[in-house]
Amino acid sequence: MKISFIILQLILGLFILLGFVKSDPDPLQDYCVASTENTHNFYINGVPCINPQLAMASHFATSDLSKPGNTRNQFGSNVSLTTMMNLPGLNTLGLAMARLDIAPDGLVPLHSHPRASEVIILLKGSLFVGFVDISNRLFTRQLRPGDSFVFPKGLIHYLYNMDKDEAVLAISGLSSQNPGVQISSIASFTSKPEIPDEVLEKSFKIHGPDLAKIRRNLGG
């Protein structure tokens, strides 16, 4: 009787805890336009706001995503993201937006966002996307213009333009004002200081020359 009561309490406690697993905290006021100019000598979880009386429509607008990103780089892709600098009105609202330009045969390499789920809509081209869940299962899809796809928070995913002629244009929404991004290959092979060779060799089952080659290819 008593034991089952304790178990019941534990289960209830777990449900309450799970209820707190959310994205960014809810704002306590209409808005908190990010103050990006002052240097503040205190630290908070987010960015301080300007005086609400000074807020203007321009704080809630940006044309930054109207310009294509330059895809002449090692992966043939470019992701432009809204930030506290180019869209300060997003501060505390728990979302961000990205424009993805991917050249023919270009790739947004394997990466994850520690703080955000991401939903993408393909506007132009054809795009091959996928993510791997924690049981190591791959979920993958070939998208046509108008199709959407969701990458759950924190899971490793990729976006590949398999087309050899047409560039991809896609837009994504992210469930954090500061989603963060960790590119698997870059984080593993070009961190500063470097992850010890032995760790990488054993992790990826490779030997010294392979390791040096991968580091060189990634510009590490």
Cα distance between residue 32 and residue 26, in whole Å: 11
Complex with ligand NAG: residue 80 or 92, whichever CB lies closer: 80
Q: Which residue among 27, 48, 69, 152 contacts ligand NAG (CB under 6 A)?
A: 69
Cα distance between residue 114 and residue 180, in whole Å: 6
Which part of the chain contacts ligand NAG (CB under 6 A), choosing from 68-76, 102-110, 146-154, 201-209?
Answer: 68-76
Cα distance between residue 76 and residue 146, in whole Å: 22
Q: Per CB under 6 A, does 73 bind ligand NAG?
A: yes
Complex with ligand NAG: residue 67 or 207, whichever CB lies closer: 67
Q: How far is the CB of 172 from ligand NAG (least distance, A)?
A: 16
Complex with ligand NAG: residue 94 or 125, whichever CB lies closer: 125
Cβ-contact 69, 98 below 8 angstroms: no
Count Cβ atoms below 10 Å from residue 129 Cβ, excluding itself.
Answer: 21
Q: Per CB under 6 A, does 85 bind ligand NAG?
A: no
Does the annotation flag 166 for ligand binding? no
Cα distance between residue 181 and residue 43, in whole Å: 22
Q: Per CB under 6 A, does 78 bind ligand NAG?
A: yes
Complex with ligand NAG: residue 78 or 112, whichever CB lies closer: 78
Minimal CA–CA distance to 172: which of 158, 153, 151, 156?
Answer: 151
Cα distance between residue 73 and residue 181, in whole Å: 18
Q: How far is the CB of 215 from ligand NAG (least distance, A)?
A: 19
Joined together, the tokens standing for residue 105 give: 């045969």
Residue 64: DSSP 8-state: G
Q: How far is the CB of 69 from ligand NAG (least distance, A)?
A: 3
Known binding-site positions for Mn(2+): 111, 113, 118, 157
